[in-house]
């Protein structure tokens, strides 16, 4: 699909979540969420080592995320409660896995884990990836030690294709192996994502899904 035809999903509603394109005005909510999750995220998310940082840096980062989204370079989303008063995590659709592919990443606030929210988020982004971006495959990558993360693609019908050695940097400056999980378009109808209902809206608020 050409860039002029593509209408990215700026706003997605799931059963319990609002997932939307970041806005620089979200910086204080992001700061609060990240500060509360430093040790939860440190083993798995190397960007946590930028903390602590001034609010201005967060504003600048959210502006970059927003401009990457608007330019169709990378679709980085905030995960909010429906009232948009709290950041519950972050996610994204990253076209960095080669032709035809898109990668989903995620993190969830420690106070909300083990309730299926990463799974609910991934279901929504899988639908957006196949039904709006028309990708051939969706990938999820994670450290094999990250049991909670690996459980998400496993539940959603992804195939574990390989574990590559020492491909990730961990938050402690070391190296970690990387599992590659893939869902191809022909297997999407067999995934629980296929039948789950979401609402996705374009930049003008028009319903896409
Ligand atoms: C990984 C992460 C996003 C998962 O979020 P979550 O909302 O808890 O995920 P879900 O609830 O949708 O699914 C987690 C699954 O792991 C399972 N799980 C949790 N702890 C487990 C354990 N010790 N052993 C085995 N399974 C476990 C849960 O039971 C659940 O599976 P189920 O629904 O079949 O019961 C969250 O823990 C997180 O943010 N971690 C830190 C950042 C991170 O690792 N991001 C991913 C980088 S690849």
- Can you give the pLDDT of all 209 residues of the chain as single tens digits? 455 589 999 999 999 999 999 999 999 999 999 999 999 999 999 999 999 999 999 999 999 999 999 999 999 999 999 999 999 999 999 999 999 999 999 999 999 999 999 999 999 999 999 999 999 999 999 999 999 999 999 999 999 999 999 999 876 778 999 999 999 999 999 999 999 999 999 999 999 99
Q: Virtual CA dihedral for 165, 168, 173, 175, nearest 10 degrees?
A: 0
Distance 2 CA to ligand 1 centre (A): 35
pTM of the model: 0.97
Q: Is 40 in the pocket of ligand 1 (CB under 6 A)?
A: yes
Q: Identify the helix (H) or strand (E) that includes residue 181.
A: strand 175-184
Distance of alpha carbon 78 from alpha carbon 59, whole angstroms: 14
DSSP bridge partners of 207: 201
Nearest CA to ligand 1 atom 18: 148
Q: Ligand 1, closest atom to CA 155?
A: 34
Q: Is 48 in the pocket of ligand 1 (CB under 6 A)?
A: no
Distance 156 CA to ligand 1 centre (A): 13
Q: Is 115 in the pocket of ligand 1 (CB under 6 A)?
A: yes
CA 94 to chain centre: 8
CA angle centred on 194, ends 110 and 128, rounded to 5°? 70
Q: Ligand 1, closest atom to CA 89?
A: 39
Q: Is 179 in the pocket of ligand 1 (CB under 6 A)?
A: no
């Amino acid at each position: 699909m050409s860039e002029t035809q593509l209408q990215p999903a700026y706003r997605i509603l799931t059963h319990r979540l609002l997932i939307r394109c970041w806005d620089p005005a979200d910086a204080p909510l992001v700061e609060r969420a990240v500060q509360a999750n430093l040790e939860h995220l440190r083993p798995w998310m190397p960007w946590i080592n930028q903390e602590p940082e001034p609010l201005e840096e967060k504003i600048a980062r959210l502006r970059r995320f927003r401009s990457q989204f608007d330019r169709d370079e990378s679709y980085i989303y905030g995960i909010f409660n429906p009232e948009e008063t709290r950041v519950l995590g972050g996610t994204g659709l990253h076209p960095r896995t080669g032709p035809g592919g898109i990668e989903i990443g995620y993190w969830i606030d420690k106070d909300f884990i083990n309730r299926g929210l990463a799974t609910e988020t991934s279901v929504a982004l899988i639908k957006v990836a196949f039904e709006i971006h028309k990708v051939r495959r969706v990938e999820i990558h994670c450290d094999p030690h990250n049991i909670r993360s690996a459980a998400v693609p496993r539940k959603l019908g992804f195939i574990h294709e390989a574990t590559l050695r020492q491909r990730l940097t961990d938050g402690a400056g070391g190296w970690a192996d990387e599992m590659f999980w893939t869902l191809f378009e022909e297997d999407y109808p067999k995934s629980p994502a296929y039948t789950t209902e979401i609402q996705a809206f374009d930049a003008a608020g028009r319903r896409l899904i």
